Structure 1
Amino acid sequence: MKFHPLSRVWIYQSDRVFTDAEVKELEQLLADFTAGWQAHQQQLKAGFEIKYNRFIVLIVDEREAGASGCSIDKSVHLMKEIQEKYQVNLFDRFNIAYKEQEEVKTVNRDAFEALIAAGKINQNTIVFNNLVQNYQEYQDKWEGKFINSWHQRVFSLPQSI
């Protein structure tokens, strides 16, 4: 499904990688959910993506019908069910994702700061901005260099000598 650049996105990051078998189950679960996702008895033009077997992305093109509070609550409820079923944490905003070579890793805030101090995270490290608001931002700014992300405003890199 093709989405308008201003379609809303919600990104849920797992604290562990889903297995391939879990991803197959999740794809079916999310396909069923988005096919029936409604707001005020109107079908939402919705879809999903699972990236790196770790990120669940929900997408809604609100040009036809907007996601309401109740419909968003339904998606949060689904994420809580997934969290419980698969024993993952999808709501920890202090769980930070970054790439080491091509592998996506997650650590808590303290561990991320320790990696920065040890020089293992630098301005070119790829990090993930799960706060993007729309599909265009998701395409352009979700995955990018530390130096171009919100991370550089929150975490200080050591000064080079």
Structure 2
Amino acid sequence: MLDSLSDAARLWLVPLDRTLDDAEADALRQSVADWLPSWQSHGRPVRAEAAVLAGRALAVGAVISEADLNAGVSGCGIDAMEHAVAAALEAHSVERAPALSVLYRDAAGAWQSLPRPAFRRLVRSGDAGPETVLLDVTAATVGDLRDGGVERHARDTWAARAFALAA
């Protein structure tokens, strides 16, 4: 996953509104990958790679120089990437998951999405808990992603604090 990039490379994770099958995931990844060679930040080429993870998150990793803080990609460069990602999502009839939604695997292993208040009710009823697998899009670097992945037990994510999940 993002094999051409170092652990220090900056990472953007975009949760998707639906689960993509392998063909859809590859087509979306390829659309973003086709744009990546043209990506620049203040006139400097950005070395980048894209992937679709767990059928539910688009990952874009990038670096200009390993010595630069935050991989050296500026706000203008980030905006350009965001526009390219938005265009690729639209071209493939995919949207970002709703803001502040919780994406989790149900008992059958399928991805589900709920607004936070509805997920809180699921926790309170005992139908979700520390062992529930969430889509965690908080990794900031490729190394963070490699260490933790995007599919993590709720107890190991931000949700442990937000929903008072005991381990």
Q: TM-score range by the shorter chain?
A: 0.7 to 0.9
Aligned pair 1:105/2:112, yes or no?
yes
CA shift at 1:54, angstroms?
1.6
Q: Letter of the aligned partner of 1:79 in structure 2? A: V
Rounded to whole Å, the distance in 2 between the matches of 1:106 and 1:139 is: 24
| Structure 2 gaps, min length 5 | none
Cα deviation code 1:90-110 (max 9, x no counterpart): 163312112235333222212
CA shift at 1:154, angstroms?
0.8
- Counterpart of 1:82? 88
- Counterpart of 1:131? 138
Aligned pair 1:149/2:152, yes or no?
no
Q: TM-score, normalised by structure 1?
A: 0.84
Among candidates 107, 117, 127, match of residue 124 of structure 2: 117
- Counterpart of 1:35? 37
Rounded to whole Å, the distance in 2 between the matches of 1:140 and 1:29 is: 27
The change in CA–CA distance for 1:140 and 1:102 in structure 2 (over 3 A counts) is farther
Identity %: 25
CA shift at 1:121, angstroms?
0.9
- Number of residue pairs matched by the alignment: 158
Contact 1:95-1:108 at 8 Å conserved across structures? yes
CA shift at 1:122, angstroms?
1.0
Rounded to whole Å, the distance in 1 between the matches of 2:161 and 2:87 is: 34
CA shift at 1:19, angstroms?
4.2
| Structure 1 gaps, min length 5 | none
